[in-house]
Amino acid sequence: MIKTAEEAIQFIESRQKFGSKPGLQRISALLDALDHPEKDLSIVHIAGTNGKGSTVSFLSAMLQETGWSIGTFTSPYIEALNERIAINGQPISDDALTNIVAKIQAIIDSADAVSDLFEITEFEVLTAAAFLYFKEQGPDMVVLEVGLGGLYDSTNIIAPLLTAITTIGMDHEQVLGDTIEKIAAQKAGIIKNGVPVVTGKISSEALKVIEETAEKQQAKVYHFNVDYSIDYKGPHADWGEQFDFYNEAGKIPKLVTSLLGKYQTENAAVAVQLFYLVCQLKKIPFDEKNVKNGLLKTAWPARMERISQEPLIILDGAHNEQGIKRLAESINNEFKNRHIYVIFSALERKNVEGMLEQLLKISNAEIYLTNFDYAGVMRLEKNYQRIDEDRINIVSLWHFGLANILEKISDDDMILVTGSLYFVAEVRQLIKDLIS
């Protein structure tokens, strides 16, 4: 029997990553045994290759400005697993996590070997734990981030109030498919009958798949640059980005995100449109003050996060080629006059060469390619240095690379740590310890 948070986390992480076949049969069986806590929740469901976590954060911050309590379920975590299940930004307590996971363990342990419960995965346990916690705590609304894909993701068991798809790009091809259209079909799997869907900045070939799914489901689509749009105004003098927002309600001028990167204004726009639709459906005022304050108060660790000012160190978990492309564009836009030391690592299953080619588009970048302590990390012996021998350095341990950079960095230089979120989280913890 689970009695501590450590035991609860150990149990969660001991479960297999994937079931023997995709589908919702396992999570359905588990939630049935738990008396379907998800059915009592009012949920906004958000999918996307990139940007879904930021969009969850923006939306939940705006909703909190109305005085509501907001549950969030996100992935992965940065410092502690508890972060993934939170209310108003406060992670689930160790005691609550322990008690809830103990209930789930008892159900799984009592299942026989032919039951759908027998193969329950790590993410399915977490999803069920989130639903149980939110049912117990009773937040006014839950903003739910898809784990992987959408169609067969365990979060897709719900009947949401609204759905959103932020972006679609190539990632997790071994699970979701090897074309944009196949990946779009998986993401579009979250669209439910008659439930409105908000789409972000998405390519025409992916959007076609989403629109076909929405038409079958009789779900209204709110398109970026059609039903709502932004006018990007550039970086804010202090930090973040400035933009004006437009939709059928009119214009909201001079919005500022707390998160850096032009693409964050696109994520913020998806969140503002979702907030507008929530206000309509729940019959509460769409107050631009709540929009402005929510965007300014949004915090999302390891996403263009400034963790040190002197020297300037930015962390960003851009973990696929599309994410790195958008990151490189933002760095060139914001820091074109600085020499930039990039510390990068990724998982072997990613398109590492494609990611490096995008990083090399940062005009003043010097790249340190390295490793970290994680299963499936990229192999340095693949000689990635051949891509650009003058600008790519190989260091076996990132600690050595960071120490080397800190010895020679000048006031006008900066450090960018990017790649796998697991890698960025590891570096983040050490830097926080050093500067605290």
User: Residue 319 belongs to a domain with what CATH number?
Assistant: 3.90.190.20
Q: At 18, which CATH number? A: 3.40.1190.10
> What pLDDT sits at residue 342?
97
Where does the pLDDT of residue 237 fall: very low under 50, low under 70, confident under 90, or very high at 90 and above? Answer: confident
> What pLDDT sits at residue 69?
99
Examine the pLDDT at 282 and tell me if it is beyond 90: yes
What residue spans of 317-417 are helical by DSSP H?
321-334, 352-359, 398-408
Exposed e or buried b for every residue in 193-223, given b needs 16+ CB within 10 A? eebbbbbbbbeeebbebbbebbeebebebbb
Residue type present at position 390: D
pLDDT tens digits for range 247-264 = 999 999 999 999 999 999
Residue 422 and residue 354 in one domain: yes
Q: Examine the fold and report which residue of 297, 325, 341 is the final residue of a domain before the chain moves on.
A: 297
Residue 286 and residue 337 in one domain: no
Residue 374 and residue 266 in one domain: no
Residue 360 and residue 244 in one domain: no
Q: Which of 37-46, 85-94, 325-334, 381-390 is predicted least confidently?
A: 381-390
Q: What CA–CA distance (Å, rounded) separates 130 from 124?
A: 10
Examine the pLDDT at 71 and tell me if it is beyond 90: yes
Q: What is the mean pLDDT of residues 59-67?
A: 98
Write down the residue that tokens 């004006």 correspond to: 244
Domain that holds residue 101: 5-297
> What pLDDT sits at residue 336?
87
- Return the DSSP state at 325: H
Contact yes or no for 259/334 (Cβ under 8 A):
no
> What pLDDT sits at residue 258?
92
The three-state secondary structure class of 58 is helix
Q: Which of 34-38, 64-68, 114-118, 284-288 is predicted least confidently?
A: 114-118
Residue 330 and residue 198 in one domain: no
Whether a cis peptide bond, with omega within 30° of 0, leads into 76 is yes
Q: Examine the fold and report which residue of 297, 319, 344 is the final residue of a domain before the chain moves on.
A: 297
Residue 359 and residue 229 in one domain: no
Residue 326 and residue 245 in one domain: no
Q: Which of 51-65, 87-101, 161-175, 219-233 is predicted least confidently?
A: 161-175
* Gyration radius of the chain's alpha carbons: 21
Q: Examine the fold and report which residue of 297, 313, 335 is the final residue of a domain before the chain moves on.
A: 297
Residue 120 and residue 163 in one domain: yes
Number of domains in the chain: 2
Q: What is the mean pLDDT of residues 167-178?
A: 76
Examine the pLDDT at 173 and tell me if it is beyond 70: no
Residue 111 and residue 22 in one domain: yes
Contact yes or no for 142/60 (Cβ under 8 A):
no
Residue 309 and residue 293 in one domain: no
pLDDT tens digits for range 83-111 = 999 999 999 999 999 999 999 999 999 88
Q: What CA–CA distance (Å, rounded) separates 323 from 356?
A: 12
pLDDT tens digits for range 363-398 = 899 999 999 988 889 988 888 889 898 999 999 999
Residue 260 and residue 330 in one domain: no
> What pLDDT sits at residue 177?
77
Of all helices (H) and strands (E), which one includes residue 415?
strand 413-419
Residue 123 and residue 43 in one domain: yes
